[in-house]
Chain A
Amino acid sequence: MNPNVSITTMNVSGRNFVFANVVRSMSQIGFFRHSSNLNTTTDIFFIEKEPILKIINPNINDEFHNKSIEQISGAEKCSDFIQVRLSTACDNVFGYNQGLERTLIPVLELFKPGLYVLHEAQMQPCDGNGGFFWNAYGVKKEINGTSDKNAVIGNSRYSPCFLVPTHQASNFQAKRMYSESDKFKLGKKPGGIAVHISGMFSALLTGHHTATAALANDTDFRCVVIEPVNEVVYDNSKKGKKERRITALSCPYVTIPVEELPAGTLERFLITRKYIKPFDFPEIRTKIGKHLKTVSRKVFPSNVYEKAELLPDCALVESAAGIDSVSEEQLTALLAGESMYDGEYIVSNNYYSSIVAVTNYLQTADFKRFLSFALELLKNDELAAVHKYVAERLLTVMNPAVYEFFASVESSGEDTGIVGEIADKYVKRWKEHSERKAKLDDGYHKKRQKKSNTAQAIAESRGIATLEAAVRNIGDMPRSDNR
């Protein structure tokens, strides 16, 4: 039987979403339930014959309870067949800007049957708690933001942005990371493909070196996120409750009203089960008890650890996810010390929590507006109550505008209280950061020079018209981190 994947674009509440309905497939990527009792369940995320992640829910009776995620193997052990499909699709989406509809069918054929939502999103290469993603899951530990439901986010929709690796950390190669860094520096925007696993976490299927390079270069890392649609939303009206009518299907990113679904999709959703028994189940079983070898932190460039610490954490993303949008007028009202605009609360009746939520939202959604809003807040002496929080938020942001502001606070010599203390810290950090950056840039320029010389030699030997073309050729050679 040939795999059958249909991809449709659907308009839900004025926004277009891409849905994939996988009817028949190879079921090479998915979840199965490894063990369960009345309180605990253990699910395994597998790729082909490899059990990649062990996801333990220690309290299944509490939907708000965090889970633990442990990496137990690596997808690099899988066949080239899988790797090539993933990396080709990734290159097509990010390298050649082809649409998701065209490019992702070969990848979705690897997934188990079911309904999926596809979207492109900015991902955070960290574990949501300040740790670099690639070697953060070697030991079993409960991780914030992995629960099925989130008390802070509530029913709002969000993108599961924190990454969990599917390749072992020992698979990291500095050479490949630099190759991906070069792509960023040449203005390209390579990305990855991830699949949602739990709460705010997605497993990165391809693009590990790209994610690391993006972090090292302070660049956004974008991924195509494939989210299985697993939940139903019930009609809460009296009749609806009695008859158990459903109004929508949902995943973290979107809620799809059932009326919008193409004919037959709802029935297929209801008959398809969340878990699947992999074809190579006996072989996978034998590998589950084994654990990864620990990898030295020295394997990765030291700056990725520092930069991962500065990425938004789970609490920040939770707080930001509660807000859909903030208008300029609302920001102006907040800067004027108001928590209401146009007769309605902007976030809540508490001014301080409104500032916290809006700052978090802007930091994840619109960095430029975040900077200007935060600096405006700090410049307004009447809003001293929120200065400490906002200044601490800025402490991790290495940006010339922020430096300029804190440097001016430090040099003013006035008693600026807590902001003054934070300004001192920031200026010190900025100097360290600048020195380190200069060193790295120096190293990079040397490398570029060497590459340029090689390119020159190639250009001369092959008669390529321009030096720039030759450099681009070299930059293009390792197309993806999976080859």
Chain B
Amino acid sequence: MAFESISGVRINDQNANRAFVFADYFSVYEDLQNVEEIPMVFNWGDFTAIAETKNEFVLDNGVRVFNIPKSLIDDPVTLIRVRAIVEGAIAANPGIDYKFGKRILPPKNLCIGYEVPVDAYIAIGAYRENEINNSNVVLKYSGFDKLIWIFSPIVAIAAFVLQMLFFGSFAGESEGVNSNLLQILVISLFAGLAVGMSIYLFCIYGAKTLYGKILREDPAVLEEITFVVCEEGFMAAESEVYDLSSIIRWQQVAYFVETTHVYIIFTGNKAVFWLPKRLFPKELHKELGDFIEGKLLQKS
């Protein structure tokens, strides 16, 4: 388990007349008016499934389901603390089925307690919108690049054939074919280019939308983050809750991608770790890249 020293959080739900306490145990008060009430107290291991959606935390122990609206937590730092407590508890009880939404930082339930050594690469800073957007474009583009290279020529050829059928020699006209052919060629090329551009613009739009989604769902985007890369693993977590005593092991992730601005580490097809190069001195970039490459497979 990690994140055991984050102080507990009580969340009051005045509308539903109940309160929740997130700490070493998960406790539920069902009557806020009753000061003598003995709450329900759950060990985190009692839960079979926990989910964090855009609007709420959902805790299910197989008998009861507790929905805790995020709107009850008005302070982003408190939300970060609640999430860290929950994910720390899931790390200690890996049998819990955990689902979460859009996220910029790696889920803390992947962490193991580990003392980050003094020779680790450590940086502190907030993400910038442009580096996330640019990287998202690169990622989206890497998914669509084959599509662009296949579709654009196909559309260009199709446009060429169609024009030839209606306006060119295929239509049986012989007069002015040469001048038509040039025009048809240019139009066909532009058609292919337009399709390619459309797909690329779609990538940019998708990347910006993705950033918007992450921004809405994950308050960590605007927070100060501590980034760690060391021999045993790596970590990125909100400085508010991270005390350099947990990491994600290299064995738990699959590969990394290097973009102009960031290194992105993936588990399967999901990006879990974004490391902005900007936070490290320029002379360290190559060394850091080589270090990560020594640990993980690089995909272009």
Q: Report A's interface with B, CB cutoff 8 A.
A: 32-38, 41-42, 232, 234, 242-246, 258-259, 263, 266-267, 270-277, 281, 285-286, 288
Contact = CB atoms under 8 A, between A and B. Distances in A.
Interface string B38-61: 111110001000000000000000
Contacts, number: 86
A275 B23 contact: no
Q: Dominant SS at the A interface?
A: mixed
Looking at A35, A263, A286, the one whose CB has the most chain B CB atoms below 10 A away is A35
Contacts of B115: 34-35, 285, 288
A258 B4 CA distance: 24
Contacts of A277: 5, 243
A281 B243 contact: yes
B16 interface: no
A244 B4 CA distance: 22
B5 A276 contact: yes
Given A34-B113, A35-B115, A277-B243, A270 B5 contact: no
B272 interface: no
Given A37-B112, A270-B8, A285-B115, A243 B40 contact: yes
Contacts of B7: 271-273
14 contacts: A33-B4, A33-B245, A35-B115, A36-B113, A38-B112, A234-B41, A244-B40, A266-B39, A270-B25, A271-B10, A271-B21, A273-B5, A275-B5, A276-B5
Contact of A36 (B2, B35, B39): B2
Interface centre among A266, A270, A286 (most CB of B within 10 A): A270
B149 to A, nearest CB: 45
A73 B21 CA distance: 36
A273 B4 contact: yes
Contact of B8 (A246, A272, A285): A272
Nearest to B28: A244
Nearest to B247: A35
Nearest to B29: A267
Contact of B27 (A33, A38, A270, A286): A270
B33 to A, nearest CB: 14
Nearest to A272: B8
Contacts of A234: 41
Interface string B1-35: 11011111110000000000101110100000001
Contact of B118 (A32, A266, A267, A286): A286
B137 to A, nearest CB: 37
Q: Name, among A32, A38, A273, the residue most crowded by chain B CB atoms within 10 Å (CB to CB).
A: A273
A37 B118 CA distance: 20
Given A33-B1, A242-B63, A272-B23, 7 more contacts: A35-B115, A37-B113, A232-B25, A263-B36, A267-B10, A270-B23, A272-B7
